[in-house]
Amino acid sequence: MNLKTSYLGFTLSSPFVASASPMTGKIDKLRALEDAGAAAVVLPSVFEEQLRQEQEAMDRLLTNSADSLAEAQSFFPEADLYERNSDRSLELVRQAREALDIPVIASLNGISPEGWTQFARDLAGAGAQAIELNLYHVGCAPEISGADLEHQHLDVVRAVREAVDLPLAVKLSPWFSSLAHFANQLQSAGADALVLFNRFYQPDLDPETLTAGKTLQLSDSTDLLLPLSWIAILRPQLQAQLAHTGGVHTPEDAVKALMAGADVVMTTAALLKNGPQHLQTLRDGLIEWMQTHDYASLDQLRSSMSREKLPNPAIFERLNYMKLLKTAEW
Ligand SMILES: Cc1cc2nc3c(=O)[nH]c(=O)nc-3n(C[C@H](O)[C@H](O)[C@H](O)COP(=O)(O)O)c2cc1C
């Protein structure tokens, strides 16, 4: 079965991409992902905050060095005085390119349209073949409107678009008041693909210690439905490619994502739970499903259940909500 897929200008051997996680941050794991059938990998994000802090620390160091470390500086080159996390990220890109034949996508994560976006150039220089820009934001400030935030996000996309010539994917949140409109604007700002969606990790409250703690629960297949709906809705109205991320654990999950209209299917939690070889299970399972259901190619399957192809497209809208509540039995 030919699973060849085009994404961000690359011809991939299948639609399965390993999304950003600690697993894509180690060379041995990246090799294992490729061996198990990953068609591309997204490296862990480099965060705006991290780049900003490093720049501030470097500025402080150099200012102080000018006075008190003048002698030391004459012995040590500046770069040796402070090893930056971002250097490690660039090194990971270089090593991943050396170790892998599949496309290596670097991830940048931030929301303000400032100097850090230029780091995209460094990622490109290190060999990244595409950039996934993650706009992870929780809008808590009452003085900033949704429209302001959207403008800010678009400015970031434009800044990265201007910084590099590489294919650009934008990973975004589902929580926009008019996602269809915003998706179009992201496309106009230069996004070649949209990655739906960021998964938000809300802190849990501990009533005993009166503290809020970290909670990171891995997804399961029930997390599939939100990106699935939006991919089905957006597919007919966007030229940009669409990547499904969230809740893909079984071959059937992947079939649904592709039928909704996803160009590629990304997975993280299933790989963290089952190991890189789970990609082989997903790939074999997809082929088996297609053969059993007489699908000759991925093209025949892909987008076959996007919104405009369904006999009842209103199922994605208010009508579904009304019907669901009326027919629900408890
Ligand atoms: C431990 C962990 C680390 C992650 N790190 C990143 C990251 O650095 N950048 C990013 O864009 N997404 C990151 N993600 C999100 C995943 O790439 C993915 O979008 C999300 O887990 C939903 O997909 P899944 O249901 O297949 O896990 C991370 C997820 C997990 C569980």
Q: Where are the domains of the chain?
A: 5-327
Nearest to 201 by CA among 242, 246, 232: 246
Residue type, 102: I
- Closest among 290, 279, 284, 293 to 249, alpha carbons compared: 279
| CA 19 to ligand 1 center in whole angstroms | 6
For residue 231, how far is the Cα from the chain centroid?
14
Residue 8: DSSP 8-state: T
Question: What was the pLDDT predicted at 214?
Answer: 78
Q: Which residue's CA is the closest to the ligand 1 atom numbered 25?
A: 246
Nearest CA to ligand 1 atom 29: 21
β-strand pairing of 10-12 with 5-7: antiparallel
- pLDDT(323) > 80: no
Mean pLDDT within 167-171:
98
Report the top-level CATH class of 5-327.
alpha beta
pTM of the complete model: 0.92
pLDDT of res. 321: 76
Can you give the pLDDT at residue 71? Answer: 54
| Dist CA 122 CA 63 (whole Å) | 24
| Cα–Cα dist 180/24, whole Å | 31
Expressed in angstroms and rounded, the spacing between residue 145 Cα and the centre of ligand 1 is: 27
The pLDDT value recorded for residue 47 is 93
Question: How many Å lie between the centroid of ligand 1 and the Cα of residue 44?
Answer: 8
pLDDT of 81 over the 50 cut: no
